[in-house]
Amino acid sequence: MLDPQLLRSNLQDVADRLVPRGFALDVARIEALEEQRKTVQIRTEALQAERNAISKSIGQAKQRGEDIAPLMANVESTGGQLSENKAALDEIQTELEAILLGIPNLPNESVPVGEHEDGSVEVRRWGTPRIFDFEIKDHAALGGKSGWVDFETAAKLSGARFSLLRGPIACLHRALAQFMINLHTSEHGYEEAYTPYMMRAPALQSTGQLPTFEEDLFKIACEGQDDLYLIPTSEVPLTNLAAGRILDAEQLPLKFVAHTPSFSSEAGASGRDTRAMLRLYQFDMVELVQIVEPSNSMGVLEDLTANAEKVLQLLGLPYRILALCTGDLPFSAVKTHDLEVWIPSQENYRKVSSCSNCGDFQARRMQARFRNPETGKPELVHTLNGSALAVGRTLVAVMENYQQADGSIRVPDVLKQYMGGMDIISCGR
């Protein structure tokens, strides 16, 4: 969340900076609540002091043998008023906190201004899309003939927007995840983690999914205990590894990678890319998270993006990088790079990764801090996350970019060791 002190001291400036995000901050309501808070807080403190003074007088009157009944009545009346004021103050604070939790992060000054995704700016491209001398098949057609990509059975089992992979395509999916994990741990310095797939609400509030995006989450009601949510990505558990901690500066950066399923109902995405494997309720993700000292977090964003790029480069998949504009920026991010991989059947680039710097936005929510060695005082860390990569979408890109005229799929060289040396996946059985 944003710094409450920033809102109190520069409310209109914050509102102006949020306009390019398409977010209208209710300045009048916040100002009214702040005035109420100040009034009630002053009154509460006065009543507390008054009650303390009366309590002291009661002790003195007892020592003198005086009648304390009037003082007791007075302290009871004051106590009642104090309780009412505390309740009113709690109510105001609760509303202010609810407003604060719904405010997105402030864009970094380097973020391009734009209302929607069309305003994002292409940063660079890598690779050249292959020119096919035969009719291109999409991944559903390539895998559907053999039954190795089966949406019909998945729909019978679970409903729409699920997939079932079998045989060498399932193996290729697993190989991609293994390749990514091994690359990030052996060459990029990340520590592998295996995390829970279900989280309590405070963890998702810490990373910004709750309360704003609750409709996009799958919730599991648990009788007699806290409800649980299926994770949208392992960003949630990995980032929360720093929650409530004061880290030594020497411990930073913390760099984690995890391969997990991800679950998203994407309630706002109805009708978009719902065919085949591009937008599913369940998909696999290899997620990178870094928890860093604040001074160079923008440089870390470039490093994290490069880590994701390396996966695509080694796979030989053409891609481009976009700097997302203000109107397309994720809720918690100050700056985001999207990586889009070339999908031949669509003759277009499609997102396969988002790499974001969240600044201290998530850290403030979860009170994740480090001790500044110069001052000795705790300060908020910065958090970054990025998919490196979305496994299912990478699978789509590999299948389509490496397809052959007979419907078979060549296995990229870097994946052969994970597939028992297999060179070709023949999809025409």
Q: pLDDT for 276-323, tens place per residue?
A: 678 899 999 999 999 999 999 999 999 999 999 999 999 999 999 999
- CA 244 to chain CA mean position, Å: 18
Mean pLDDT of 338-364: 97
Tokens representing 160 are 């729409």
Q: Is 117 annotated as a binding residue?
A: no
Mean pLDDT of 253-272: 82
Distance CA 240, CA 204 (A): 9
Instruction: Kindly list the distances between the CA atom of residue 266 and the CA atoms of 282, 296, 355, 388, in Å, as whole numbers in the listed order.
Output: 11, 33, 19, 20
Locus of tokens 């009157």: 61
Q: Is 57 annotated as a binding residue?
A: no
**Mean of the per-residue pLDDT values for the chain?**
93
Strands of the 348-357 sheet, one edge to the other:
121-126, 319-323, 335-343, 348-357, 382-390, 282-292, 254-263, 191-192
Mean pLDDT of 349-365: 98
390-412, pLDDT tens digit by residue?
999 999 999 999 999 999 999 99
Residue 416 has what pLDDT? 97
**Fold adopted by 26-102:** Helix Hairpins (1.10.287)
Of 233, 189, 160, 159, residue with least CA distance to 391: 233
Residues 6+ apart with CB under 8 A from 333: 105, 324, 356, 357, 358, 361
Mean pLDDT of 343-372: 97
Q: Is 234 annotated as a binding residue?
A: yes
Q: Does the N-terminal peptide bond of residue 20 adopt cis geometry, omega within 30 degrees of 0? A: no
Residue 230 has what pLDDT? 98
Lowest pLDDT segment from 48-62, 81-95, 171-185, 189-203: 48-62
Tokens representing 207 are 């990373």
217-252, pLDDT tens digit by residue?
999 999 899 999 999 999 999 999 999 999 999 999
- DSSP, collapsed to helix, strand or coil, labels residue 380 as strand
Residue 70 has what pLDDT? 67
Q: Give the helix/strand (H/E) hosting 248.
A: strand 246-248
Of 429, 425, 428, residue with least CA distance to 168: 425
Residues 6+ apart with CB under 8 A from 355: 288, 301, 304, 305, 308, 336, 337, 338, 339, 384, 385, 386, 387, 388
Residue 275 has what pLDDT? 54
Higher pLDDT, 380 or 57: 380
117-425, superfamily in CATH? Bira Bifunctional Protein; Domain 2 (3.30.930.10)
DSSP string, 315-371: HT--EEEEE--GGG--TT-SEEEEEEEEEGGGTEEEEEEEEEE-TTHHHHHHT-EEE
pTM tops 0.95, yes or no: no
Residues of the chain with pLDDT > 70, as a percent, come to 93
Phi, psi of 344, deg, nearest 5: -55, -40
Residue 54 has what pLDDT? 64
Residue 68 has what pLDDT? 63
* Helices H / strands E in the chain, number of each: 12, 18
Q: Is 250 annotated as a binding residue?
A: no
Residue 132 has what pLDDT? 97
Sign, CA torsion 221/222/227/232: negative
Q: Is the pLDDT of residue 371 over 60?
A: yes
Is residue 165 within 8 A of residue 147, CB to CB? The reply is: no
Q: Does the N-terminal peptide bond of residue 247 adopt cis geometry, omega within 30 degrees of 0? A: no
For 17-22, the CB contacts below 8 A with 24+ separation are: 17/106, 17/107, 18/103, 18/104, 18/106, 20/107, 20/113, 20/114, 20/326, 20/327, 21/104, 21/107, 21/326, 21/327, 21/329, 22/115, 22/326, 22/327
Q: Give the number of C-alpha atoms closer than 13 A to the C-alpha of residue 76, restricted to the C-beta side.
A: 6
DSSP string, 64-133: HT---HHHHHHHHHHHHHHHHHHHHHHHHHHHHHHHHHTPPPPPPTTSPP-SSGGG-EEEEEES-PPPPS
Mean pLDDT of 28-40: 94
103-151, pLDDT tens digit by residue?
999 999 999 999 999 999 999 999 999 999 999 999 999 999 899 999 9
Mean pLDDT of 21-36: 96
Sign, CA torsion 214/218/221/225: negative
Q: Give the helix/strand (H/E) hosting 258.
A: strand 254-263
Residue 85 has what pLDDT? 85
Q: Which residues belong to CATH 3.30.930.10 in the chain? A: 117-425
Tokens representing 278 are 């591009």
- DSSP, collapsed to helix, strand or coil, labels residue 38 as helix
Q: Is the pLDDT of residue 77 over 90?
A: no
Q: DSSP assignment, residue 251?
A: G
> Cα(first)–Cα(last) distance of the chain, in Å?
54
Tokens representing 199 are 């989280």
Of 392, 382, 379, residue with least CA distance to 356: 382
Q: Which residues belong to CATH 1.10.287.40 in the chain? A: 26-102
